[in-house]
Amino acid sequence: MGSNKKRLASFAAIAAVTTMLLSACGGSTTASSTAAAGGSTAAFPTKGTGEVHLYNWTDYIDPEQLKAFTADTGIKVILDTFDSNETALAKLQSGATGYDVVFPSDYMVKQMIELNLLEKVSPATFPNGSKIKSNMMGVYWDANRDYSAPWMYGSTGIACNTKAEPKCSSIKSWKDWFTVGLPKMDSLKDQTEVVSAALRATGVAAADLCTTDKAKYAAALDLLKGFKPAVIDSDSGIERVIAGTSNVRMAWNGSTHRMKEKVPSVEYIYPSEGLNLWADNMVVPVGAPDLDNAKIFINWMMDPKNIAAESNFTGYDNGITGSDAFMSDSLKNDPAVVVPADKVALLSPTPACDQTARDLYTQVFTTWLGAQ
């Protein structure tokens, strides 16, 4: 009983965190007002024919679940994968009409909406739309959930194998991370994550991560110049940590959870300057050939049981109320996934910057890459 209560408290903590997504661009509206309308769609189809074409991150959806979806609905699933939000954007903008459901992150959804790339399917009005967590409504990229349904969300911090590299437990902050200089240390090849972490390490506040003050970027670059990881890659590195070829890495909390399942000595570090909270989504691109199937798929995935199975596979928490009842204990008891109460304040949304700031990010990032 006691542990159950603690668990609930932890989930409440992460709920508090995610409400911060609301305030990211001041686009907050009253939560779940539209979701209430969900019940009226009495004739929402649950079965279909033909196919649904998914376009998701690599290794980010459970193949067994896709089989279950086909068994439930009669719709065949075709899955293609991408390695970055920008790859997905490039495909959608280059006339790749044929995807039905795409899984971009927060800031990318915002841009896709601005570019008129997304179909207004109003997932909040789907039968399962009312189950969207209240803190996942009113998000800055899609305030009324007109275009996007929540998928997984998580944070980007540091994974550390304390047994293979005892020194890594001394890392407490991004500043430590950039200056500690340990072997078998890997960084993500992601300009937003690397540069925002360096900005945080040099004293830029979370709310100010899209600053256009060049001096701040100069300071971040100064710090980065001494940072020479062994590998800079865009993958999760799960296999590399398990194989022992990587001991310390910039990592997403969900992949850290998956590492821990094989290597218990892995720990997830919440850097003291704060870390990025991101949320991925299910969206339907304009011109999707199987619009109804796309809706059926999104609604099916918003079922607490189904999305919980995905959480169990990916290692991330999701945006659907009631899914925690179906989540595995190892997930619910992992401080990488369920944020400890004293760490909640560290999380803030991934900065969604305008072109000017993004150019500065690119300049810092490519200069750092070039200095390797």
Partner 1 sequence: MTTSHTAPKRRRLVNLRNFPSFTAVSWGVLFFLYIPLAYVLFYSFNSSRIATIWQSFSLHWYSVTFHDPDIQRALSNSIKIAIGATIFSTFFAVIAALGLLRMKRAGSAFAWALIGAPLLIAEIVLAVGTLAFFRAVNIPLGLVAMTIAHTAFCIPFALIPIRARLGQLDNAPFEAAADLGANEVQILRRITLPLLAPAIISGALLAFAISIDDFITSFFLSGPGSTTLPVFIFGMIRSTVTPEVDAISSLLLLFSGVVLISSYVLNRRRR
Partner 2 sequence: MSKKHVKQLEGRPGQTSPLLALPTVIFLTIGIGIPILVTIIYSFLDRAEIGMGVKWHFNPTSYKSLFIIENLDGTTGFDSRWIKVLWNSFLYSGITTIVTAIFSIPIAMWIATRDENKRNILLAAVTLPFWISILIRTYGIRQIIDDNGPIGTIMHKLGYAHYHIIYTPTATLIGLVYVFLPFMILPIYSSAERFDFRMAEAAYDLGARRWTVLRRIVLPSIRPGIIAGIALVFIPALGSFLQSDMLGGGKTNMIANVIALNFGQARNWPFGCALSVLLIALTLGFVKLIQWIGKKSTGEKVSFI
Q: Which does 362 bind (CB under 5 to 8 A by kind): partner 1, partner 2, none?
A: partner 2
At 268, give phi and psi (nearest 5°): -105, 125
Contact status: 203 vs partner 2 (CB under 8 A) = no
DSSP 11-66: HHHHHHHHHGGGGTTS----TTTTGGGGGG-TT------SEEEEEEETT-S-HHHH
Q: Which does 96 bind (CB under 5 to 8 A by kind): partner 2, partner 1, none?
A: partner 1
Span of 153-161, 257-265, 297-305, 358-366 interacting with partner 2 by CB under 8 A: 358-366
At 243, give phi and psi (nearest 5°): -75, -10
Q: How far is the CB of 199 from partner 2 (least distance, A)?
A: 12
Q: Dig out the tokens for 63 from the structure.
A: 């193949």
- Which regions of the chain does DSSP assign to beta strands (E)? 51-57, 76-82, 101-102, 148-161, 185-188, 231-233, 248-252, 266-269, 275-283, 317-318, 347-349
**Which CB sits closer to partner 1, 98 or 335?**
98
| Residue 369: closest CA among 174, 224, 176, 245 | 224
- Sequence-distant (6+) residues with CB within 8 A of 362 are 191
Q: Which of 87, 130, 162, 169 binds partner 2 (CB under 8 A)?
A: 87
**Which CB sits closer to partner 2, 2 or 95?**
95
Q: Which does 214 bind (CB under 5 to 8 A by kind): partner 1, partner 2, none?
A: partner 2
Q: Which of 96, 232, 341, 344 binds partner 2 (CB under 8 A)?
A: 232
CA distance 43 to 126: 10
| Residue 54: closest CA among 332, 288, 319, 354 | 288
Q: How far is the CB of 94 from partner 1 (least distance, A)?
A: 4
Q: Are 94 and 200 in contact (CB under 8 A)?
A: no
Q: Which of 99, 126, 178, 217 binds partner 2 (CB under 8 A)?
A: 217
The number of CA neighbours under 13 Å toward the Cβ of 334 is: 28
**138 to 197, contacts with partner 2 by CB under 8 A?**
183, 189-191
Span of 136-144, 148-156, 335-343, 352-360 interacting with partner 2 by CB under 8 A: 352-360
Contact status: 212 vs partner 2 (CB under 8 A) = no
Using only C-alpha atoms, what is the Rg of the chain? Answer: 20
Contact status: 352 vs partner 2 (CB under 8 A) = no
Q: Which does 58 bind (CB under 5 to 8 A by kind): partner 2, partner 1, none?
A: partner 1
Contact status: 64 vs partner 2 (CB under 8 A) = no
**Which CB sits closer to partner 1, 146 or 235?**
235
Contact status: 215 vs partner 2 (CB under 8 A) = yes
Return residues touching partner 1 (CB under 8 A): 51, 53, 55, 58-59, 63, 78-81, 83, 90-91, 93-99, 233-236, 238-239, 242-243, 245
- Sequence-distant (6+) residues with CB within 8 A of 170 are 176, 180
Which residues would be at the binding site for partner 2 (CB under 8 A)?
84, 86-87, 89-90, 93-94, 111, 114-115, 183, 189-191, 214-215, 217-218, 221, 230-234, 243-245, 355, 358, 360, 362-367, 369-370, 372
